[in-house]
Amino acid sequence: MSLFKSVSFIRRRKAGGDYVRGQWIPGTPSDTPFLGTKQPVGGKTLELLPAGKRGREVFKCFAPLDMNFTSADDHGDEEADLIVWEDKEYEVTSAAKWDNGLLPHWELLCTRPKAGET
């Protein structure tokens, strides 16, 4: 049993788009609900964020290990996942998988993008 209250989140994963007759058509995002915990972010973590993201809404989300998350700091072709909480979208800025056997989980740093960035 967790010490923290579980809350409902949605992982929104953007699907790749395609060009149709020379025009870009974005893919349809898929939503996956999950339960996790939401924690505030301390000063040290905020200092590690890029300067442009320090003044935004930021929180940590602890999510179940049976899901996968793509973050903004991954160097692949995929876009970062979005976490929806209370009808607001937050970009997964970093995602760390903790599988220590005691309490396996994902630790996500979620940042609210500026209007028009998602």
**Does the pLDDT of residue 77 top 70, yes or no?**
no
∠ at Cα 59 (34, 6), nearest 5°?
35
The answer, yes or no, to whether residue 76 has pLDDT greater than 70, is no
pLDDT, residue 1, reads 38
Interatomic CA distance for residues 34 and 55, integer angstroms: 27
pLDDT digits (tens, 9 = 90+) for 90-112: 999 889 999 877 788 999 999 99
Dist CA 17 CA 111 (whole Å) = 24
pLDDT tens across 6-57, in order?
A: 899 999 998 878 888 998 888 888 999 999 999 988 877 777 776 666 678 8
Q: List beta partners, residue 84.
A: 10, 89
Predicted structure pTM score: 0.80
Contact 83, 10 (CB under 8 A): yes
Q: Which domains does the chain have, with CATH numbers?
A: 7-13+24-111 (2.40.10)
